[in-house]
Structure 1
Amino acid sequence: MPLDLYITSVTSFRETKAQQNEMMRILDTRGVTYKTVDISVDKCLLEEMREKCGNPSAVPPQLFLGNKYLGGYPELMDAVEDGEADKFLEGQK
């Protein structure tokens, strides 16, 4: 099952774009199968992402395996720095 990476293609925040790009780079270099879900296409997708996160103010990028919330940029980066990225990504390749 591919991971779902919630992103936004419409943002004025360089930090958001950089975080999204870095998460995609990490997933790509590890050979992880994922699909992007662009919340800017439909407001319902933002609400869906926030509901799945359990956080009414969550913003992209956010990563899921089905309905299971894996985390956002800080969580993935912590896992990478700790050498636990594969465990974090649940071995999805």
Structure 2
Amino acid sequence: MSITVFVSSVSSNLRIKKKQQNIESILESKKIDFKLVDIAQNSDDKDRMRVLAGNPTALPPQIVNGDVYCGDSDAFDNAVEMESLDAFLKL
């Protein structure tokens, strides 16, 4: 399985942009392989993100491992703080 982070390149929301950058930075620093999927480029990706999240109004960033939903940016931050990132990412 691989970690996928659903992001948006056209978000005007500064909070979302910072959360996306934070997730990317932490995953890179921990040398965890992941791919970014930009939902602004393809509405099918946005729909897939929302189905996986189980929330028809979910906003990026959302994180999945394969087809298993891990959580949103707040849950990611909590996992980092609690030193349980591997469990959160289902690694």
Indicate yes or no: 2:85 matched with 1:90. Answer: no
Whole-angstrom distance in 2 between the partners of 1:70 and 1:86:
11
Whole-angstrom distance in 2 between the partners of 1:86 and 1:52:
19
Encode CA deviations 1:24-73: one digit per residue, 9 max, x unaligned: 01111111000000000011111111011110010000110111000010
Quote how far apart the aligned CAs of 1:2 are: 2.1
Q: What's the RMSD between the two structures over aligned residues? A: 0.9
Structure 1 residue ranges without an equivalent (≥5): none
Matched letter for residue 81 of structure 1: E
Structure 2 residue ranges without an equivalent (≥5): none
Matched letter for residue 50 of structure 2: R
**Paired residues for 1:1-93 under 5 Å:** 1-91=1-91
Whole-angstrom distance in 2 between the partners of 1:2 and 1:24:
14
TM-score (norm 1): 0.93
Q: How many residues align?
A: 91
What SS is found at the alignment partner of 1:74?
helix
Runs of 4+ in 1 over 3 A off after TM superposition: none
Among the aligned pairs, what percent are the same residue?
A: 33
